[in-house]
Structure 1
Amino acid sequence: MAITLPDSRGLSDEVLQALRLRALHGIESGFSQADVARLLGVAGETVSRWWTAYTAGGLQALPQERTGRPVGTGRTLSDEQGAHLQLLLDTKSPSDLGIAAPVWNRRAVRDLILNEYGLRVPIRTVGEYLRRWGYTAKKPSRHARKQDPDEVREWLEQTYPAIEKLARAERATMFWCDETGTAADAYPGYGYAREGQRATIEVPDPHIRMNMVSGISNTGDVRFLTYSGTMTAERFITFLKQLLTTVPGTIFVIVDNLPAHAKDAVVAWVQQHEDRLAVFYLPRYSPELNPDEYLNNDLKGQVHDAGLPDTSKTLRSRIQRFMHKLLMLPKHVMSYFLHPKVNYCASG
């Protein structure tokens, strides 16, 4: 990790004098002026000026005045304006403020500055402000626009705690379940190439795709079923049968609101097995509350590491290999529950 030295213009007179003496000592010890400047974090011209003055008149000839403009002068935005903009970035989305952008990127912040203060700031300068304020570029997390915050709050504060209490009373194993699909031509990673050239990858038939339904418990248990095509009530019942066959005792299944999960056939089948099985539904449009989503992300990030498959059979084999490996790694499975969005169900 690279260490960033503070701007010498912000240092006290005593610290600057110590830097001057160390610079002179370094040059006398055989270091080049460029090396000394780099190590002390000052301009090469400054070190040269110190050395020239010292060789001409000794220590008493060292310049004591400060050069360069004071830190903060010449900036387009005042500290008060910067603080106000940061408050908006932390509490509002671009659409909240009438800015046409999906996230707070440099262009959106540039437009925000123009809207708030009538100042036209270059994109590069916007990036410098963002770095100075402590913002870094990140891949945005997904948040459904149709999500009902009251429904989420009720789930976190009332519904799930009640389910958890009931599970303890019945000594039930809770499985968070979800479906995902993997395409043979999808590769989420990066590749290196010469500057100015694009990294390329040979992709197979884009219609090669395999799907999976899986379930995980916060104690590290994993169950899964791969299939082609869409999830149907019949396929979901097949997966529930697998759970009943391979997991002893009572089972609580938590799923999203996919239509196949709540079909009449599923409801009727679950009622027939209510002595051992219950199904509960997450708030609508809230995939981030399901820890199995983070297994899906893990799968998509690793299943093509050895290259893109060219047949459905190979793709299915890759998915199954990844999942069978997870069966032997309960602590890794438990780590999915440590994400801040789902640590509410990490124990229980």
Structure 2
Amino acid sequence: MTTRDARSLSPDALEALRRRAVAAVEAGVSRSEVARLFGVSRKTVGAWVLAYRREGEDAFRPKTRGRRPGEQLALSPAQQAWTIKTIISGTPDQYGLRHRLWSRPAVVELVNREFRILLSPATVGHYLVRWGLIDEPYLQEMMRSRVTATVPRPRGAPATAEEWIPEAEVLWVAWTRPHAPADRRAVSRQNLMSGFRNYFGDVNVLIAMSNRGVVHFRAGLGPFDTPHAEDFLHRLMRQLGRPLNVVVCRWPLQHYEMLQAWPRRHSGRISVRFSL
């Protein structure tokens, strides 16, 4: 099939084409197949997908020349910075919200209360990815793999410490440090604002995503200690009202002992496995 020059399309047609192509890739269709189906190059499809994962909904709309970063977003740069700092500084219930951990609905309520701006949960999700506070594409990729291994059982520990708990909530968990890519040359492409870490500090995030794609998280400055990790677990259990089957996607090796302790301390309520 002959490839088309997408630049020759009207803005509305180009936006629709980008949305359909990215949706197909996110649904599991290969980029090569999407390129063939929509008559564009594989490189173009890849660029659209990367732009969407970096910018969210903004990536679909054709940009006009001279547009400044964030100029047509619902939140101004100052409002975005305030929201990020608030999320980093504590949990939602500390600010009088009804949520125990941050989530899309929690951020919707925070922004609406502070700025009288009503965002949709989907828009908040794009902001969280844009800011780097959550890495949904990474967790979704881990979920799709569906390959897990049990945490090694210490000698003498009961076998039930590793058992998958029936009817428990399955959560895919990661400990991340936003805006700290291995390749320093990629920083400018991943940050919402240049110098994110200099501006906001050494941000660490604990993220939990359910099989339904619901995300809960908490953020803070500096590495989490055992009490912080335990508090995250307790908040998850209270928020969801169920035992947890935890699949760990990413976790610092120097804090591995936290994971070994969870099943022992919460027998019958928490099971821990690793994604491979």
Superposed pair shares fold, TM > 0.5 = no
Q: Larger radius of gyration, structure 1 or 2?
A: 1
Q: What's the TM-score once normalised by structure 1's chain length?
A: 0.29
Considering fraction of residues, name the structure with more strand: 2
Q: What's the TM-score once normalised by structure 2's chain length?
A: 0.35
| Higher RCO structure, 1 or 2 (CA under 8 Å, sep 6+) | 2
